[in-house]
């Protein structure tokens, strides 16, 4: 937990020192940290779906939004609300900054890799099992106009 608290501390210091945000930095800390948690959880979930360990549960936009809001609320209530991450006496240093950059890169690379695996799996499934029923093609307006001129 100390590592996560350091991550929160660095986000907080970024918004107070660099962005000069004095009024509502906790909203930014909550949002940014919750996005990273959500991306990590979504990456794990996507990988488990890819390996067919679990079946796809999150399929609609509403479920995605609801799960993201739940992550945001839990993150705020458990970690950010009391500003406990500021009580550890953390200092900004190069080693900590590099570890945060490494974490961001790892999250990004892992999410992209799992997304590519899932994309390849979907393409392979579509190649093996093409659609049996094709919907008939609707006539175009141009075709209707040509037919009308031909008949009149």
Q: What is the pLDDT of residues 93-132, one digit of tens each?
A: 999 999 999 999 999 999 999 999 999 998 898 888 877 6
- DSSP character at residue 84: G
Mean pLDDT of 70-99: 93
Distance (Å, whole) CA 48 – CA 85: 32
Mean pLDDT of 42-68: 87
Residue 118, CA atoms < 13 Å, CB-side half-sphere = 17
* Chain centroid offset of residue 61 CA: 12
Q: What is the pLDDT of residues 1-28, one digit of tens each?
A: 889 999 999 999 999 999 888 888 999 9
């Amino acid at each position: 937990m100390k590592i996560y608290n350091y991550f929160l501390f660095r986000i907080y210091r970024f918004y107070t020192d660099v962005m000069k945000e004095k009024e509502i930095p906790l909203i930014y800390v909550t949002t940014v940290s919750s996005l990273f948690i959500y991306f990590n959880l979504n990456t794990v979930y996507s990988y488990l779906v890819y390996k067919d360990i679990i079946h796809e549960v999150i399929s609609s936009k509403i479920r995605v939004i609801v799960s993201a809001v739940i992550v945001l609320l839990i993150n705020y209530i458990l970690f950010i609300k009391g500003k406990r991450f500021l009580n550890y006496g953390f200092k900004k240093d190069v080693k900590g900054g590099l570890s945060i950059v490494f974490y961001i890169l790892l999250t990004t690379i892992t999410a992209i890799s799992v997304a590519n695996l899932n994309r390849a799996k979907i393409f392979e499934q579509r190649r093996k099992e093409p659609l049996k029923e094709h919907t008939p093609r609707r006539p175009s307006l141009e075709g209707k106009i040509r037919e009308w001129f031909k008949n009149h």
